[in-house]
Each structure stands twice: as C-alpha cells, then as structure tokens.
Amino acid sequence: MYTPRAYVEDDAAVLRELIRRFPFALLVSAEAGAISGTHLPFELEPDRGEKGTLVAHMARANPHWRQLARCEEALVVFQGPHAYVSPGWYAKQTTVPTWNYAVAHVYGRPSIVDDPARLRASVEGLVARFESEGSPWKLSSEVVTRELPGIVGFEIAITRIEGKIKLNQNRAVADREGAAAALLASVDPVERGVGEMMTAQLRGEPALSDGRGGACPRPSGAAEAESAPRGQSNQ
C-alpha cells in the first residue's frame, strides 16, 4: 500500500482498535492468476501467534475457501471512517479536494478450521459480540448444529499489518481545524467519525483509542507536514 511517511500508522494498539471497531472487511487471495474477494466479519485474537490471528467463516458454497486452503498468503482490508474533504473548509483554499480515511491491510497465512468444536465456538463468539444486549433472540445449540455444515471456518495467522491514517497531516493546522469542524457538523455519522479522528490528532492523541490509554499519541505538526506531498496525489 502506498503510504507517505506522514500517514503511516504503526502503533499496534491503534490498528487493533481499527480492526475491532470496523470488523467487516474484504478478504483477498490469489492463485494461478485468479483473484478472489469475499466480504466478511472478522474477529481479531491479538494474543494468538506472534502478531495475532484473524478468525472468520464463509458459506461452504463459496468457492473462495477452496482457493484459500491452497494459498500461502492472504490479505484482509479493514476500512475505517472516510470522507471527502473540500478546499472550501481550509484557511488557504487554492488547492484541490482530497479524501481522508483510515485503513489497515492485514497479511497472513490462512488455514482451514476442521475442528467442529472450534468452528462452533467461533460462531457463538461472533454472535455474542454483535447481538444486541437484552435481545429476545438467543442462538440455540440446535440451530448451530443444523447450520454448521453449511459454513467453513478459517484462520489467518498475521505476519504483518500495514496501517494508513490520512487526515490532512500535510496541511497547516488552520486547514486541518477547518476540515475537522466541517466534518463534525455533518449529518453523516461516517463523516463525523473522520472529524473525530482529526480532532483527536490535533489534540496530540491517537486517531483511534480504546479509551483505556491503549495507544500512544502520535506527533502532529510541521515535521509531518513536511514529509507528505500536497494535493490529491498523496492518496
């Protein structure tokens, strides 16, 4: 992934938080020139393996899992908040629009989960995380037993993560403040999410934090501004 130095995010805690908050990702793998992509929710188990492990499942009818079983490496793309940024929000407006965003590219070695007990635990854990608290619906053992043959579980042992958080770090503070204020005023919650990340960085805090001090503040200001080109081409 092309990433100017100002936008590199290598804080493991920030990247884990991005994956936790935005778990619906794009799985990509290739074999003999054929590229496959599947959109899936993933769970991150950060303490399994040297760099953590991603856990997911897909429909058995999806041929992607057969390719995945033969692949040595797969890519999972996690997309955080993103938004169009207008030059009209800057103090200095003689420039072009751009797009701000946060992404994590996770690479690793895929393996199929053959153990039904592990697959069941994975499904139950995913439901437990996302089903609303107090929901009248409960996942029954009978339903899991009936549906389990229709899915294939897999894991990806993470080998490396490339993080990129692009939030106008190449512009003057006044421009960044103007863009952040405009995005925070948006009716779109995704755009407001970008504004919140920008505001956090302007305060010298991590763009994404788990609220428990799990990420170290990243520097902002002139040093970053000098390391990235201006304009649309720095995507």
Q: What amino acid is encoded at 207 in this protein?
A: A
- Residue 222, H or E segment: helix 222-225
Question: For position 234, what pLDDT does the model report?
Answer: 61
Query: b vs e for 5-25, b when ≥16 Cβ sit within 10 Å of the residue's Cβ?
Result: ebbbbebbbbbbbbbbebbeb
Q: What are φ and ψ of residue 87, in 5° steps?
A: -60, -20
Sorted by where each begins, the domain ranges of the chain are 5-86+97-170
Question: For position 139, what pLDDT does the model report?
Answer: 86
Question: For position 211, what pLDDT does the model report?
Answer: 56
Architecture in CATH of 5-86+97-170: Roll (2.30)
Question: For position 215, what pLDDT does the model report?
Answer: 40
Rounded to an integer, what distance in angstroms lies between the CA atom of residue 109 and that of residue 203?
Answer: 38
pLDDT tens for the chain, 235 residues long, are 999 999 999 999 999 999 999 999 999 999 998 999 999 999 999 999 999 999 999 999 999 999 999 999 999 999 999 999 999 999 989 899 999 999 999 999 999 999 999 999 999 999 989 988 788 888 888 988 999 999 999 999 999 999 999 999 999 999 999 999 999 999 999 999 999 999 999 999 999 987 544 443 343 343 444 344 444 456 6
Contacts 24+ apart (CB under 8 A), 113-120: 113/57, 113/152, 113/153, 113/154, 113/155, 116/148, 118/153, 119/57, 119/148, 119/151, 119/153, 120/144, 120/148
Question: For position 96, what pLDDT does the model report?
Answer: 95
Rounded to an integer, what distance in angstroms lies between the CA atom of residue 103 and that of residue 29?
Answer: 18
Contacts 24+ apart (CB under 8 A), 198-201: 198/100, 198/167, 198/168, 201/167, 201/169, 201/176
Three-state secondary structure call for residue 170: coil
Rounded to an integer, what distance in angstroms lies between the CA atom of residue 191 and that of residue 185?
Answer: 9
CA atoms within 13 A on the CB side of 22: 20
